[in-house]
Amino acid sequence: MKKFIYIIIILFIISSLTLLFKNRDFKANFSESNGTTPINIVFITDLAYIIPTNASINSIIKNKSKTTKINIYVIGVNLTEILKNHIEKQSRNNTNIEVILKKSGGNGLPKNTIYNPIISRADYIKFYLPSILDKLDKVIYLDSDTIVLKDLTALYNIDLEDNYIGAADDWQSTWYDNRDARFFNNGVMLMNLKKMREDNIESKLLENKKNDKINRFITEDAFNITMQGKVKPISLKYDTFGVEYNRNNILPRIRYVLGKNFDKKMYPYKSTKEYRKDVVIIHYCGWGATKPWRYKINNYDKAQKLWWKYISKASF
C-alpha cells in the first residue's frame, strides 16, 4: 500500500510541474461578481493529507450549484511553492482557491501535548484560524478527510447568532464521561471568526490545551471546553462519519448518539435511505474508520466508494 501512495505523490508532483510551466501567468481572482457573496471554506493540510484534500475540494466543486461562488483557503503546512501553485490552479467554476503556507502547527504548546501517532500536528492550526483569516468574519472549516455531496449554501447561511461555531454532535459522544453533556466534532465547523477574535478565543484554546491532561483528540477536547455554551447544534447530515453512513439502520444510531437532545424537526427521516440522500458531508473519521486512500477499495463500503469517485476525477 505504501508503494501505491508513493506513486500517487510522484504523479502529483509531476503534474504540478507541468501545470506550473503551462500556467505561469495564472493569478487567482477572489473578487465577487453579480453581487453574490461567496461562501468561504478553509482546509488545513500537509504532505500526508494533500491527496484527500484534493478529493474534498473536487467534491465541493462538482456538487455545488452553478451560481454558487466559493472561496477556498488551504492552509498548507510545510508544503512547497510547486504544490501551492498546483492547488491554486484548480480554481474553476466560480471557485477560487488560495493557499496560505505555514511552517508548522502547535506553536506555543508544550512538546508533550503535541504528539499523537494518528493525527497530524497540522491540526493545531485550527487554534489560529481567527488570526490567519483575519479579513473574514465567517468560514466553513472542513477536515481534509471529508467529501461534500451537496451545495454548501444552506450550511453557510445558518444563523450562528451569538455563538462561536455551529457544529454537529460527535458520533462517539457516548464514550465520554458526562453522557448528558454535548460533545461536538470539530472536523466540520461553521465558524464565527469575528466573535472569536472579539473574545480572544485563540489564547483560551491554547490555555485549555496546555491544561488538557486527557489529550484524546488533539484539538477537539480544547474546542469543546472553550466553546461550552457557545455552540449552535447542526444536523449530523453535515458531519456523517463514513462508518455511520455504511450502517443498514442509521436512525436508531442517531437517536442513541443524541439521547435527550434528539430533535424530530431536525431529523424527520423515515428510513436510512432517506437520510443517506440528505447527507451533505461524509467525514472519514471515528472508531473503525477506514481512510480510503490507505486501503484497497471495498465494494461493500459505500462511503469509501464515494471517496474514490471524487479522487479519480480530481486534478493531479
Pairwise pLDDT comparison (235 vs 208), residue with the higher score:
235
Cell triple for 132: 490567519
Q: Point out which residues pair with 277 in neighbouring strands.
A: none
Q: How far is CA 128 from the centre of its chain?
A: 15
| DSSP count for the chain of H helices, then E strands | 12, 10
In the predicted model, what is the mean pLDDT of residues 157-178?
85
Give long-range contacts, CB 8 A cutoff, 24+ apart: 294-297.
294/1, 294/5, 295/1, 296/1
**Of 210, 18, 31, which Cα lies nearest the Cα of 111?**
210
Residues of the domain holding 153:
2-313
Confidence (pTM): 0.86
Question: Distance between CA atoms of 27 and 31, rounded to whole angstroms?
Answer: 12
Please measure the distance between the N-terminal and C-terminal CA atoms of the chain and give it in whole angstroms: 19
Question: Distance between CA atoms of 142 and 164, rounded to whole angstroms?
Answer: 16
Average pLDDT, the chain: 83
In the predicted model, what is the mean pLDDT of residues 195-221?
84
Question: Which residues, including other chains, have CB under 8 Å from residue 185's CB and lie 6 or more apart?
Answer: 167, 168, 169, 170, 171, 220, 239, 283, 285
Strand order from edge to edge, sheet including 146-148? 146-148, 281-283, 240-241
Cell triple for 198: 472579539
Q: Is the dihedral of CA 78, 98, 201, 50 positive or negative?
A: negative
Would you say 235 and 155 are in contact if contact means Cβ atoms under 8 Å apart? no
pLDDT higher than 90, residue 104: no
Find cell 448528558 and name the residue. 180
Pairwise pLDDT comparison (88 vs 7), residue with the higher score:
88
Question: If DSSP codes are grouped into helix, strand and coil, which group holds residue 198?
Answer: helix
Can you give the pLDDT at residue 293? Answer: 84
Question: If DSSP codes are grouped into helix, strand and coil, which group holds residue 52?
Answer: helix
Total domains in the fold of the chain? 1
Can you give the pLDDT at residue 289? Answer: 59
pLDDT higher than 80, residue 10: no
Residue 281, domain CATH: 3.90.550.10
Q: 280-298, pLDDT tens digit by residue?
A: 999 998 765 578 888 766 6
Burial annotation 213-226 (CB, 10 A radius, 16+ → b, else e) = eeeebbbbbbbbeb
Q: Are strands 281-283 and 146-148 parallel, antiparallel or unpaired?
A: antiparallel
